[in-house]
Every structure is written in structure tokens, then in C-alpha cells.
Amino acid sequence: MTRLKALSPDEATGKTKELFTAIEGKLGMVPNMMRTMGNSSAFLEGYLNLSGALGAGTLGTKIGELIALTVAESNTCNYCLSAHTYIGANLVRVDADTLEAARNAKAADAKTDAVLKFAQILVSKRGLVNDTDVNAVKVAGITEGEVGEIIGHVALNILTNYFNNTANTAIDFPVVEAYSTVV
């Protein structure tokens, strides 16, 4: 059972209504996570702005989705695993094996693999990385700007993981469960 109410786009007003209209225009629907975030238009707008800015970054949409899966698995967020598996497969067109590998911070491409491993390290060390961690990602060809973007993607996904785990957001995508919750 959800802990926080997901607003209906029909009952939203003011800034939240404007944001829902924009989301629906882009996605054709307002996902439950965003409907629940809509209880605070400031929160929803902040999430959308950061997500949009990172989506336009140099890492690209595909790597952003793979980072989201690495982080969601690390934080046992079934909503985000479900959403990003669906988005990765159907909107970004990433194959199932690549999506599955990203949950374990692995990729066939060495540069992407380094990105995902660094993202996982950021989560596990709660941002307290060391010189060896940063040097490893830079040696793999990641620029300092891209290191910043990785940190941004990790922070954005921790935000959504914590939000969805707190709200117990109803999953409105085909359900994917974290390994630690699969019996």
C-alpha cells in the first residue's frame, strides 16, 4: 500500500497542473512517481529540471539509464528498476542483456563499465570516494566533466530511489524486483 498519495492529473492545480500537462505532453501519461512528487510542485519541478539538464549532458541518455539501473539495484528500489528497465528497453532501445548487466554495474564497453562501477562505488561509499576510485574512472577515459555528470546522475537516482521507497509508490510499469527482494 502506498504511503503518499499520487495526485490525479485531473485534480491538480496551479504549478503542479502546469508540470503535469508538460509531462503528459512529453510522455503521454504522468507516471505515478511524478504524480506523487506533485504534492510539492517545488519538488517535482526540481526533479524535472535536474533530470532534463543531465539528459542533455555529454554522457547521454543510454548511459543515464544504465546508471539509474545500477543505483536502483544498489538501493533496492523496485519502482526505479521497473521504470528504467522499461524506458531503457522501449524508449532508448537498449538490449535486455545490457540492461541486466547494468544492475550489477557491468557493461561490455570498457568506458561504460568504468562509469557504472564508479556510480556503484559512489553509492556504496556514500560519496566518500578516494583518489584510487577517481583515478580509475579517469584512466578509463572519463573526463572531469563526465565525473561530475556521473555524480549528478547518482544523486538524482538516489533522490528518486529514496522518494519511491518512502512513498511506496505504486509501480505503473512492468514490475522488476531488486535481486535482494526476489525470493
Radius of gyration of the chain (CA): 16
C-alpha cell at 34: 511524478
Using an 8 Å Cβ cutoff, are 113 and 106 in contact? yes
C-alpha cell at 1: 500500500
What superfamily in CATH does domain 60-178 come from?
AhpD-like (1.20.1290.10)
Nearest CA to 66 out of 118, 12, 10, 14 is that of 118
d(C-alpha 70, C-alpha 68), whole Å? 6
Q: For every one of its 183 residues, what pLDDT tens digit does the chain have, with 9 covering 90 and above?
A: 999 999 999 999 999 999 999 999 998 999 999 999 999 999 999 999 999 999 999 999 999 999 999 999 999 999 999 999 999 999 999 999 999 999 999 999 999 999 999 999 999 999 999 999 999 999 999 999 999 999 999 999 999 999 999 999 999 999 999 998 654
111-160 pLDDT, tens digit per residue, is: 999 999 999 999 999 999 999 999 999 999 999 999 999 999 999 999 99
Long-range contacts of 103-106 (CB under 8 A, 24+ apart): 103/69, 103/70, 103/72, 103/73, 103/179, 104/70, 104/73, 105/70
What DSSP state is assigned to residue 12? Answer: -
Nearest CA to 150 out of 112, 124, 178 is that of 112
Q: Where do the domains of the chain lie? A: 14-55, 60-178
pLDDT of residue 24: 95
pLDDT of residue 182: 55
d(C-alpha 6, C-alpha 171), whole Å? 11
d(C-alpha 97, C-alpha 108), whole Å? 10
d(C-alpha 112, C-alpha 178), whole Å? 21
